[in-house]
Amino acid sequence: MLAFVTGGSRGMGLQNAKDLRARGYEVVLIASNAELLAREAAAIGAHFRAVDLLDLDQTRSVFEEMASTFGTPDVLLLAHGVMSEKMSKTLRTTTEEWRRVMTINLDATFVIVNTIVPAMAERRSGRVIIYSACLGRMSGPGNAGGLAPYRISKAGVNALVRNLAHETGLGGRGILVDAVCPNHTRTDMGGPDAPRSVEEGAATALWLATREFVAGEDLTGLFWEDQAVIPW
Protein backbone atom coordinates (compact mmCIF):
# COMPACT_ATOMS: atom_id res chain seq x y z
CA MET A 1 0.00 0.00 0.00
CA LEU A 2 1.28 3.44 -0.99
CA ALA A 3 0.42 6.87 0.43
CA PHE A 4 1.36 10.38 -0.68
CA VAL A 5 1.11 12.86 2.22
CA THR A 6 1.50 16.62 1.85
CA GLY A 7 2.30 18.83 4.79
CA GLY A 8 4.43 15.86 5.73
CA SER A 9 7.29 17.52 7.58
CA ARG A 10 5.30 18.46 10.71
CA GLY A 11 1.91 18.64 12.38
CA MET A 12 -0.97 16.48 11.33
CA GLY A 13 0.52 15.47 7.99
CA LEU A 14 3.56 14.02 9.72
CA GLN A 15 1.37 12.36 12.34
CA ASN A 16 -0.72 10.71 9.63
CA ALA A 17 2.44 9.60 7.86
CA LYS A 18 3.81 8.02 11.04
CA ASP A 19 0.55 6.18 11.63
CA LEU A 20 0.36 4.95 8.04
CA ARG A 21 3.95 3.72 8.23
CA ALA A 22 3.05 1.86 11.42
CA ARG A 23 0.30 0.14 9.43
CA GLY A 24 2.77 -1.00 6.77
CA TYR A 25 2.22 1.67 4.13
CA GLU A 26 5.01 2.89 1.91
CA VAL A 27 4.85 6.67 2.37
CA VAL A 28 6.10 9.63 0.37
CA LEU A 29 6.24 12.86 2.39
CA ILE A 30 5.81 16.17 0.60
CA ALA A 31 6.60 19.61 2.05
CA SER A 32 8.56 22.77 1.26
CA ASN A 33 11.33 22.60 3.88
CA ALA A 34 13.74 20.12 2.33
CA GLU A 35 16.05 19.86 5.36
CA LEU A 36 13.28 19.22 7.87
CA LEU A 37 11.51 16.92 5.42
CA ALA A 38 14.61 14.79 4.90
CA ARG A 39 15.13 14.44 8.65
CA GLU A 40 11.53 13.43 9.38
CA ALA A 41 11.40 11.05 6.43
CA ALA A 42 14.55 9.30 7.62
CA ALA A 43 13.13 9.01 11.13
CA ILE A 44 10.05 7.09 9.98
CA GLY A 45 11.52 5.27 6.98
CA ALA A 46 9.64 7.24 4.33
CA HIS A 47 10.52 8.70 0.95
CA PHE A 48 10.23 12.44 0.42
CA ARG A 49 9.95 15.17 -2.19
CA ALA A 50 10.40 18.88 -1.49
CA VAL A 51 8.16 21.22 -3.46
CA ASP A 52 7.15 24.87 -3.32
CA LEU A 53 3.36 24.75 -3.63
CA LEU A 54 3.33 28.41 -4.66
CA ASP A 55 4.88 27.20 -7.93
CA LEU A 56 2.05 25.27 -9.56
CA ASP A 57 4.13 24.13 -12.54
CA GLN A 58 6.76 22.73 -10.18
CA THR A 59 4.04 21.11 -8.12
CA ARG A 60 2.60 19.30 -11.14
CA SER A 61 6.06 18.25 -12.30
CA VAL A 62 7.04 16.84 -8.89
CA PHE A 63 3.82 14.86 -8.55
CA GLU A 64 4.15 13.51 -12.09
CA GLU A 65 7.64 12.34 -11.19
CA MET A 66 6.37 10.76 -7.98
CA ALA A 67 3.67 8.86 -9.85
CA SER A 68 6.25 7.68 -12.38
CA THR A 69 8.71 6.61 -9.67
CA PHE A 70 6.43 5.14 -7.01
CA GLY A 71 3.22 4.36 -8.89
CA THR A 72 -0.38 5.32 -8.22
CA PRO A 73 -1.04 5.81 -4.50
CA ASP A 74 -3.75 4.00 -2.58
CA VAL A 75 -4.05 7.06 -0.32
CA LEU A 76 -3.66 10.69 -1.29
CA LEU A 77 -3.74 12.67 1.95
CA LEU A 78 -3.42 16.43 1.58
CA ALA A 79 -2.57 18.09 4.89
CA HIS A 80 -0.77 21.18 3.64
CA GLY A 81 -2.08 24.68 4.25
CA VAL A 82 -1.29 28.20 5.39
CA MET A 83 -3.20 30.68 7.54
CA SER A 84 -3.86 34.20 6.29
CA GLU A 85 -2.59 37.28 8.06
CA LYS A 86 -4.46 38.33 11.20
CA MET A 87 -6.03 41.45 9.68
CA SER A 88 -6.81 39.91 6.28
CA LYS A 89 -10.44 40.97 6.06
CA THR A 90 -11.94 41.12 2.59
CA LEU A 91 -11.70 44.93 2.36
CA ARG A 92 -8.20 45.11 3.86
CA THR A 93 -6.21 42.17 2.53
CA THR A 94 -3.74 42.64 -0.32
CA THR A 95 -3.75 40.91 -3.67
CA GLU A 96 -0.43 39.30 -2.77
CA GLU A 97 -1.79 37.85 0.47
CA TRP A 98 -4.97 36.66 -1.26
CA ARG A 99 -2.96 34.89 -3.97
CA ARG A 100 -0.49 33.35 -1.51
CA VAL A 101 -3.21 31.69 0.55
CA MET A 102 -5.42 30.72 -2.39
CA THR A 103 -2.50 29.26 -4.32
CA ILE A 104 -1.28 27.01 -1.51
CA ASN A 105 -4.61 26.06 0.04
CA LEU A 106 -6.78 25.67 -3.05
CA ASP A 107 -4.91 25.92 -6.36
CA ALA A 108 -2.14 23.51 -5.36
CA THR A 109 -4.77 21.11 -4.02
CA PHE A 110 -6.47 21.16 -7.42
CA VAL A 111 -3.18 20.61 -9.26
CA ILE A 112 -2.25 17.62 -7.08
CA VAL A 113 -5.69 16.05 -7.42
CA ASN A 114 -5.75 16.74 -11.15
CA THR A 115 -2.34 15.09 -11.54
CA ILE A 116 -2.74 12.02 -9.32
CA VAL A 117 -6.40 11.06 -9.07
CA PRO A 118 -7.10 10.22 -12.76
CA ALA A 119 -4.96 7.08 -12.42
CA MET A 120 -6.73 6.19 -9.17
CA ALA A 121 -10.07 6.55 -10.95
CA GLU A 122 -8.88 4.43 -13.87
CA ARG A 123 -7.76 1.75 -11.41
CA ARG A 124 -11.10 2.17 -9.60
CA SER A 125 -9.60 2.28 -6.13
CA GLY A 126 -8.13 4.88 -3.81
CA ARG A 127 -8.74 7.26 -0.92
CA VAL A 128 -8.48 11.04 -1.23
CA ILE A 129 -8.55 12.85 2.10
CA ILE A 130 -8.15 16.62 2.17
CA TYR A 131 -7.72 18.70 5.29
CA SER A 132 -10.15 21.59 5.25
CA ALA A 133 -11.29 23.64 8.26
CA CYS A 134 -14.49 24.39 10.10
CA LEU A 135 -13.81 28.04 9.24
CA GLY A 136 -14.54 27.07 5.64
CA ARG A 137 -18.08 25.96 6.36
CA MET A 138 -20.97 27.86 4.80
CA SER A 139 -23.00 27.07 7.94
CA GLY A 140 -22.50 28.11 11.54
CA PRO A 141 -19.64 30.55 12.20
CA GLY A 142 -17.60 29.33 9.21
CA ASN A 143 -17.61 32.15 6.66
CA ALA A 144 -18.51 34.80 9.22
CA GLY A 145 -15.88 37.48 8.92
CA GLY A 146 -12.13 37.93 9.20
CA LEU A 147 -9.28 35.80 7.84
CA ALA A 148 -11.00 36.08 4.47
CA PRO A 149 -8.38 34.38 2.27
CA TYR A 150 -8.14 31.41 4.63
CA ARG A 151 -11.87 30.94 5.17
CA ILE A 152 -12.69 31.33 1.50
CA SER A 153 -9.85 29.05 0.37
CA LYS A 154 -11.16 26.33 2.68
CA ALA A 155 -14.71 26.85 1.41
CA GLY A 156 -13.23 26.26 -2.03
CA VAL A 157 -11.57 23.08 -0.82
CA ASN A 158 -14.94 21.88 0.46
CA ALA A 159 -16.54 22.60 -2.91
CA LEU A 160 -13.73 20.77 -4.71
CA VAL A 161 -14.14 17.72 -2.48
CA ARG A 162 -17.90 17.58 -2.87
CA ASN A 163 -17.76 18.06 -6.62
CA LEU A 164 -15.04 15.44 -7.13
CA ALA A 165 -16.87 12.95 -4.92
CA HIS A 166 -19.99 13.25 -7.04
CA GLU A 167 -17.96 13.07 -10.26
CA THR A 168 -16.51 9.77 -9.05
CA GLY A 169 -19.84 8.24 -8.05
CA LEU A 170 -19.72 8.70 -4.26
CA GLY A 171 -17.65 5.58 -3.79
CA GLY A 172 -19.46 3.54 -6.43
CA ARG A 173 -16.39 3.64 -8.70
CA GLY A 174 -13.94 2.69 -5.98
CA ILE A 175 -12.70 6.21 -5.17
CA LEU A 176 -13.46 7.73 -1.78
CA VAL A 177 -13.14 11.52 -1.52
CA ASP A 178 -13.62 13.32 1.80
CA ALA A 179 -12.81 16.55 3.64
CA VAL A 180 -11.69 16.76 7.26
CA CYS A 181 -12.05 19.44 9.92
CA PRO A 182 -9.32 18.66 12.49
CA ASN A 183 -10.57 21.43 14.78
CA HIS A 184 -8.24 23.66 16.82
CA THR A 185 -5.06 21.61 17.22
CA ARG A 186 -1.64 22.24 18.73
CA THR A 187 0.32 22.67 15.49
CA ASP A 188 2.46 25.57 14.26
CA MET A 189 -0.74 27.07 12.82
CA GLY A 190 -2.98 26.29 15.77
CA GLY A 191 -0.52 27.40 18.43
CA PRO A 192 0.61 25.83 21.71
CA ASP A 193 -2.59 26.69 23.59
CA ALA A 194 -4.99 24.90 21.24
CA PRO A 195 -7.20 22.36 23.03
CA ARG A 196 -6.46 19.33 20.85
CA SER A 197 -3.30 17.29 20.50
CA VAL A 198 -1.84 16.56 17.08
CA GLU A 199 -2.88 12.92 17.50
CA GLU A 200 -6.48 13.98 18.16
CA GLY A 201 -6.52 16.39 15.22
CA ALA A 202 -5.12 13.77 12.84
CA ALA A 203 -7.28 10.85 13.96
CA THR A 204 -10.23 11.31 11.60
CA ALA A 205 -8.04 11.62 8.51
CA LEU A 206 -6.27 8.40 9.48
CA TRP A 207 -9.63 6.68 9.96
CA LEU A 208 -10.81 7.83 6.53
CA ALA A 209 -7.58 6.61 4.95
CA THR A 210 -7.82 3.12 6.47
CA ARG A 211 -11.50 2.40 7.22
CA GLU A 212 -13.45 -0.47 5.78
CA PHE A 213 -15.93 0.83 3.19
CA VAL A 214 -18.94 -0.84 1.61
CA ALA A 215 -20.37 1.00 -1.40
CA GLY A 216 -24.05 1.72 -0.92
CA GLU A 217 -23.82 1.34 2.85
CA ASP A 218 -21.04 3.62 4.07
CA LEU A 219 -20.73 7.35 3.43
CA THR A 220 -18.19 9.34 1.43
CA GLY A 221 -18.04 12.69 -0.33
CA LEU A 222 -18.67 14.51 2.94
CA PHE A 223 -17.15 16.79 5.58
CA TRP A 224 -15.98 14.93 8.69
CA GLU A 225 -15.11 15.90 12.25
CA ASP A 226 -14.34 13.26 14.89
CA GLN A 227 -15.54 10.51 12.51
CA ALA A 228 -18.96 12.17 12.19
CA VAL A 229 -20.45 14.08 9.28
CA ILE A 230 -20.86 17.83 9.77
CA PRO A 231 -22.71 20.33 7.52
CA TRP A 232 -20.83 21.98 4.71
pLDDT digits (tens, 9 = 90+) for 91-101: 889 999 999 99
Query: Band of the pLDDT at 217, cuts 50, 70, 90?
Result: confident
3-state SS, the chain, equals: CEEEEECCCCHHHHHHHHHHHHCCCEEEEEECCHHHHHHHHHHHCCEEEECCCCCHHHHHHHHHHHHHHHCCCCEEEECCCCCCCCCCCCCCCCHHHHHHHHHHHHHHHHHHHHHHHHHHHHHCCEEEEEECCHHHCCCCCCCCCCCHHHHHHHHHHHHHHHHHHHHCHHHCCCEEEEEECCCCECCCCCCCCCCECHHHHHHHHHHHHHCCCCCCCCCCCCEEECCEEECC
Q: Does the structure show a pLDDT above 90 at 121?
A: yes
Q: Who has greater pLDDT, 89 or 105?
A: 105
For the chain, the domain total comes to 1
Q: CATH code at 226?
A: 3.40.50.720
State pLDDT tens for residues 148-204.
999 999 999 999 999 999 999 999 899 999 999 997 667 776 677 777 788 999 999
pTM: 0.94
pLDDT above 80 for 15: yes
Say whether pLDDT at 36 is over 80.
Answer: yes
Q: What average pLDDT does the structure give for the chain? A: 93
Question: Which domain covers residue 98, as residue numbers?
Answer: 2-230
pLDDT level of residue 140 (50, 70, 90 thresholds): confident
Least confident of 5-9, 85-89, 190-194, 221-225: 190-194
At residue 30, does pLDDT exceed 80?
A: yes
